[in-house]
Amino acid sequence: MAILVMMSMVVSLARTAEAADDPLPTSYTISIPLPAGVDLARVRAEVTDLNNRNPQLSDTFQQEAEHYPLRLRDGTFTVERDFDGTLAVTGSILSLTIEADEVQANSLSWWQDVLVAAASYLAGLAVRIQCEGFFGLGTGGAGSVFAAAFCVAVGNALSVLIYQAVNIFADGAQQDWRRWGKAVGLAVVAALMGAAWESGLNVWARTKLPGIMRNVGRWVRDTGRSLTGWARTAGSRLEQAGEAIEMNADGFTESLADGLEEGAATSSVNLRVLPLGDSITYGDGTPDSSSYRAQLWDLLLADDVDSLDYVGAQKTGQLADGDNEGHQGWTISQISGIASCTMREYRPNVVTLHIGTNDMARNIDVAGAPERLRGLIGQIIAAGPETTVLVSTLIPSTTPAIMNRIQQYNAAIPGIVAGFQAAGRAVYLVDMGAVTPGDMTDSLHPNANGYRKMAAAFDKTISTALRWGGFLTAKNGVPGACGPTPGNGPSVTGMDGWNRFERFGGMIAAGVPGGTREELRFADLNGDGRDDYLLVDPQGRVRAWGNALPSVIWTPWGELAAGVPGGTREELRFADLNGDGRDDYLLVDPQGRVRAWGNNFPSKIWTPWGEVAAGVSGGAREGLRFADIDGDGRDDYLMVDSQGQVRAWGNALPSKIWTELGVVAWGVGATSQEVRFTDIDGDSRDDYLVVNAQGKVRAWLNTIGQSGGGSWLVQGEIAAGAGASRENVEFADVDGDGGADYLTINAAGQVWAWMGARFAGAERWDHQGEIAAGVSDGTLEGLRFADLNGDGKADYLMVDPQGRVRAWGNKLPSVIWIPWGEVAAGVPGGTREELRFADLNGDGRDDYLLVSPEGGVRAWGNNFPSKIWTPWGEVAAGVSGGTREGLRFADIDGDGRDDYLMVGPQGQVRAWGNAFPSKIWTEWGEIAAGIGLHDSMITFADIDGDGRDDYLSVNDRGRIWAWLNNRGSGGPNWLIQGEIRTGVGATRGQVFLEDVNGDRRFDYLVSTSTGAVTAWHGNGQVRKG
């Protein structure tokens, strides 16, 4: 390929500056013409990578140079001036545009230094491009990809040389180009751990590089001469250095080649390998759990490696070094959650990556898996640019459906690897095609022979790299970057009853760049029952990351709240005031007055509620707590005094008049700073905690509302601390089990968790798995449940838009439903939207009802097994203010006949008792005052099997709060039960509350979009009193 003749350069200024006193520019562009034959597509890919690697281009310059330990005797290399800029390829012109901010644009010294750095960087990049052109790297292949590492090394080392040489000239120090040339050669070898001196590299260095260096010198000289006026100081330095480079090119390159040859002859090969992946990397499938790692260890030592070190937080297998990062059951996204900190901690120079099997096995967004892999590889090389990443195709599965997905995924991997190679990154493909289904222990994991083949495939690529010298030297890592591990992290002494998060030394959040402890808050913003990670700036603006535990990858939601004019972080609180499961945004003034904005997640528009609390006598912001002390799902207003005594006002939203409850806790001598409220036993009522300066916790369980005994049950010390001070201890429900977890936080906002287990009781819900696979043309919109044959178990119905009904009889515990065919042909003019099922005559069989927009009801009696329904005509004329959306049918009095209920806009309920066969319903008036929730959240079902339906609120994430029907039994009509279901990741529209096992208690059913149903049986557990 033709050698680039850099005889000219083009300098364009955003604002021309010809004289020293002319105004300084806001941008400056240096351009170099590229010769014919250069692979422009590869150059563009490299330029894109360099532009995007760091926030500022100067960071990339510094980062690249740090891999090449070139230090001239009289020179230093530190980019002391931050600058940003953009590399571009326009036609055959390579350019670098420097952008100055307002301060930089007015600093002459800044411009002088940055022009020198930019010219040095561009010159080195030009050498790299010529080197790559000589070796034809665009063609790919093992030789070319490792020659790429050599070209990058030479180009960057020369950038560093030119920058230091210019400064040496400026200081008037002695020049020694032959010594400098040898230093460059040795630096390249040291960086590459023994750059191979075969296959044309020596030819290029001894025959082509001299001419390139002469041209580089001319380009640097001409660049310096063109810098006039205010830039003359930098121009003079570059001109002098360029002339010296041109004059000494032959001696310099001869010494450089000698340095390369000498270094290659004496270099050692030291590998620090990070095996990264899932259970296959961990070693599942064989009794010794050694994975491919044991065989690869032996193969690498046979390859004349001077030192070999496996790294990682896991330790498995029967081999000399069992360290690895193999995580059983993990997906690409979960590995991405630890990739950055793992790379920072260990800084390997080799990563063996086999990941994606669990994505394929679980059918997790298979189409998006290649992009997730691309992102993971990008994370690895961003955190460790010196790292060579060996990306493996997936081994096969013996399950045809999984294998089909694996083949689809594997087909995309070569293109991903090629993209990184085109950008000059050391990413290489490892083909696992030798592993066959006969090499598998089960459908996903290889046997010993399969692992042997995997080791051979990795070794083949590594051996090729060793022959070419394509590895950079490993850097020093940062111990504890992924959080504490036993021996250097928070003490777990005295944390009995708390289960430390099982991975990464308990760390569940690695923090956010630039984030601090002062900014960090936890609040449930999306209502899924798991607290999310928030950062609040001094003005109250909120950025949020959604909780995805057990994955430690928190979902970035961006800025969710822009703050309020005049508001501050000090004033901000989060609390659920309206009981929808989502925490609202509150600002509290020094006297305890509260303004609130309602949470409308995922919308970023918060509903202004104005002042919701006027404060209380003697109140202060420091003493104010928001906590749900009665378990109704709404946080109450508590004021804690200096001795820990607590006065409370019950939440009565939408009314802004809070119910005065008086003193609810007399205090235990603790200060208000020590007192916390959180639910530690999962009964939906917040408990009273005292946290001392060392993070030790004493607790009193909330029994307010129970019959007999005091309001708080002494528990004594429940946590002896985990090495964090009180200020760095938080309580939040991060695993969604309804009970608070113990969190410790460091100054950077990293979080470690201990999950509450002390108060774990009998599980209220028994998971049954999939009980119905759905039907071929089924939809979620058409799915209904109703007991058609009167056996006490709800049957599976599919209703078309015209109200025609097909049914399948319930034979649980068998999951084979009996096809009954079409059981109702519909009614002329009727629609699915109008249709309801309810038992009006008390025979145990649900009848067919059509409801008008105003709540009028026509009914047809069920005569199963006959498919002829008895027309009853209009059975209810509707009620004043009634709507179809507000109508519910539920058996309130336990007589076996469903009553007519109308739910109002705040969840209040009027009821009319069923007097069938009379069509005159008995008016009962308002039977529930409501809790301020929208009528769409309110439903009725029997929790405890007493034959009376209970009052439930279901939020949009499928969480349920309950009030037990106590009408006619003495005491309150509705007994607070708190949250009885934490949700399973389904939306409210997917949830059905029906009795499918015939125990008279409703079960929790979740349907897919096609009508496949998973079930949890309720055990009837209720709160006493």
CB burial of residue 707 (10 Å; 0-12, 13-18, 19+) = exposed
pLDDT of residue 19: 36
pLDDT of residue 189: 56
pTM beyond 0.75, yes or no: no
Beta strand pairing status for 899-903 and 887-890? antiparallel
Query: CA 326, CA 324: separation in Å to the nearest integer?
Result: 6
pLDDT of residue 655: 85
- Residue written as token pair 């050599």: 150
DSSP bridge partners of 520: 535
- pLDDT band for 8, please (50, 70, 90 cuts): very low
pLDDT of residue 192: 53
pLDDT of residue 477: 84
Beta strands in 641-792 (DSSP E): 646-650, 659-665, 675-678, 687-691, 697-702, 712-719, 729-732, 741-745, 751-756, 765-772, 783-786
The CB-side HSE value for 874 (13 A sphere, CA atoms) comes to 7
| Residue 807, phi then psi, degrees to nearest 5 | -140, 150
pLDDT of residue 484: 43
What is the separation, in whole angstroms, between the first and last Cα of the chain?
89
Beta strand pairing status for 270-277 and 350-354? parallel
pLDDT of residue 541: 95
Q: What is the mean pLDDT of residues 619-641?
A: 93
| Residue 171, phi then psi, degrees to nearest 5 | -85, -5
pLDDT of 232 above 90: no
Q: Which of 175, 64, 178, 169 is nearest to 121 (CA)?
A: 64
- pLDDT band for 235, please (50, 70, 90 cuts): confident
Query: CA 1024, CA 110: separation in Å to the nearest integer?
Result: 74
CB burial of residue 26 (10 Å; 0-12, 13-18, 19+) = middle
CB burial of residue 856 (10 Å; 0-12, 13-18, 19+) = middle
Which residues, including other chains, have CB under 8 Å from residue 757's CB and lie 6 or more apart? 497, 498, 499
Q: Which of 504, 492, 944 is nearest to 742 (CA)?
A: 492
What residue type is 457 in one-letter code? A
- pLDDT band for 493, please (50, 70, 90 cuts): very low
Residue 829: enclosing H or E segment and its boundaries?
A: none
- Best-predicted range by mean pLDDT (416-430, 475-489, 595-609): 595-609
- pLDDT band for 226, please (50, 70, 90 cuts): confident
Q: What is the mean pLDDT of residues 83-91?
A: 86
Beta strand pairing status for 960-965 and 555-561? unpaired
3-state secondary structure at position 231: helix
What residue type is 1001 in one-letter code? R
What are the structure tokens assigned to 935, written together? 């009528």
What are the structure tokens assigned to 901, written together? 């209920």
pLDDT in tens, 917-959: 999 999 999 999 888 888 899 999 999 999 999 999 998 888 8
CB of 255 closer than 8 Å to CB of 45: no
- pLDDT band for 264, please (50, 70, 90 cuts): low
Domain residue extents for the chain: 10-265, 270-468, 498-756, 765-826+890-1018
pLDDT in tens, 998-1022: 999 999 999 999 999 999 998 777 6
- For the ranges 140-149, 470-479, 591-600, 841-850, the lowest mean pLDDT is seen at 140-149
pLDDT in tens, 711-728: 788 888 888 888 888 999
DSSP bridge partners of 676: 689
pLDDT in tens, 642-686: 989 999 999 988 888 899 999 999 888 899 999 999 998 888 889
CB of 668 closer than 8 Å to CB of 642: no
Q: What is the mean pLDDT of residues 702-719?
A: 70
Query: CA 554, CA 510: separation in Å to the nearest integer?
Result: 10
Q: What is the dihedral of CA 517, 729, 504, 335, to 10 degrees?
A: -50
Q: Which of 556, 585, 546 is nearest to 734 (CA)?
A: 546
- Residue written as token pair 């703050």: 563
Alpha helices in 284-399 (DSSP H): 293-302, 332-346, 357-361, 369-383
pLDDT of residue 81: 60
What are the structure tokens assigned to 964, written together? 């037990």
pLDDT of 66 above 70: no
DSSP bridge partners of 938: 953
DSSP bridge partners of 575: 584
pLDDT of residue 215: 85
Radius of gyration of the chain (CA): 36
pLDDT of residue 246: 82
From residue 263, how far is each of 50, 194, 462, 1007 by CA, in Å? Answer: 28, 6, 21, 66
Query: What's the topology of domain 498-756?
Result: Tachylectin-2; Chain A (2.115.10)
Q: What is the mean pLDDT of residues 233-249?
A: 81
Q: What is the mean pLDDT of residues 772-794?
A: 94
Domain 270-468 has CATH 3.40.50.300: no
Buried b (16+ CB within 10 A) or exposed e, 805-835: bbbbbbebeeeebeebeebbebbeebebebb
Query: CA 25, CA 104: separation in Å to the nearest integer?
Result: 10
Percentage above 90 pLDDT, the chain: 46
What are the structure tokens assigned to 379, written together? 């994370």
Q: What's the sign of the alpha-carbon dihedral 734, 740, 744, 747?
A: positive
pLDDT in tens, 383-441: 888 889 999 999 999 999 999 999 999 999 999 998 888 776 788 899 999 999 999 99
pLDDT of residue 233: 79
**Concatenated DSSP letters for 759-801?**
T----SEEEEEEEE---TT--TTTEEEE-SSSSSSPEEEEE-T
Residue with the bigger pLDDT between 147 and 3: it is 147
**Concatenated DSSP letters for 504-532?**
GGGEEE---TT--GGGEEEE-SSSSSSPE
- pLDDT band for 977, please (50, 70, 90 cuts): confident
3-state secondary structure at position 202: helix
pLDDT in tens, 862-910: 999 999 999 999 999 999 999 999 999 999 999 999 999 999 998 999 9
